[in-house]
A and B are shown apart, each in its own frame.
Chain A
Amino acid sequence: GAVVSQHPSWVICKSGTSVKIECRSLDFQATTMFWYRQFPKQSLMLMATSNEGSKATYEQGVEKDKFLINHASLTLSTLTVTSAHPEDSSFYICSARDVEGADNSPLHFGNGTRLTVT
């Protein structure tokens, strides 16, 4: 089945530093990847839609200069949390849909990244 690899699984960083999270589709190509954030006991919140070769589309309330997204190839998207603060501590999850799949085909999720900012 389709596999999405997300790295790192967890990261602890100091306030003010930047953290990069990678999301790779291992056995399929994805023109579009989605980045979610999930706080404890809450549902997934879509942060942005990453489009290969073009700018990401950010959801309302998500700062594009703080959460930098790069989708340089059909198999890799990165999310960089710049100048992280404790309130950015959360579970970040990427997902992707096979480029050959329909728009309503299931999303394949990465295993998530637990970010803790101290």
Chain B
Amino acid sequence: GQNIDQPTEMTATEGAIVQINCTYQTSGFNGLFWYQQHAGEAPTFLSYNVLDGLEEKGRFSSFLSRSKGYSYLLLKELQMKDSASYLCAAVDSNYQLIWGAGTKLIIKP
């Protein structure tokens, strides 16, 4: 079956760095998305990786290893507004999105 695993919850300190991991098992693979979702709001797009390696976009970076079925989202210089859920979603061979349950990130002062 198809499956996405990511931690349920993480806590980090303002100004620090946090890495949110995601492992996936899908029928075929056409890339992986990271979305940010604040409570009560819709998800917003953060990143998309389809090739191995690190993609940097400001304070946020996303990494992919296709051979390991693994991705992570790296958040630097954490701000209180980064408190949100972070959703990992893999694209399978039919271009269907397989969603993880999301990681709730709590930022403490």
Contacts and interface: CB of A to CB of B under 8 A. Distances in A.
Size range of the chain A interface in the assembly: 20 to 34
Contact of B97 (A46, A91, A112, A114): A46
Given A104-B30, A104-B31, A104-B91, A109 B42 contact: yes
Nearest to B6: A43
Instruction: Please report whether the interface of chain B is mostly helix, strand, loop or mixed according to DSSP.
Output: loop
Interface stretch (B57-65, B66-74, B76-84, B98-106): B98-106
Contacts of B50: 104
A44 B87 contact: yes
B102 A43 contact: yes
Size range of the chain B interface in the assembly: 20 to 34
Instruction: Please report whether the interface of chain A is mostly helix, strand, loop or mixed according to DSSP.
Output: loop
A65 interface: no
Nearest to B88: A43
B1 interface: no
A112 B104 CA distance: 19
A106 B30 CA distance: 12
B43 interface: yes
B32 to A, nearest CB: 10
A103 B43 CA distance: 19
A111 B48 CA distance: 21
B42 A43 contact: no
Contacts of B100: 43
Interface string B36-58: 00001111110010100000000
A93 interface: yes
A107 B97 contact: yes
Contact of A114 (B40, B95, B104): B40
**Sorted from nearest, which 3 A-B pairs have the closest CB atoms?**
A103-B95, A109-B42, A43-B101
Interface of B: 30-31, 33, 40-45, 48, 50, 87, 91, 95, 97, 99-102, 104
Interface of A: 6, 41-46, 91, 93, 95, 103-104, 106-112, 114
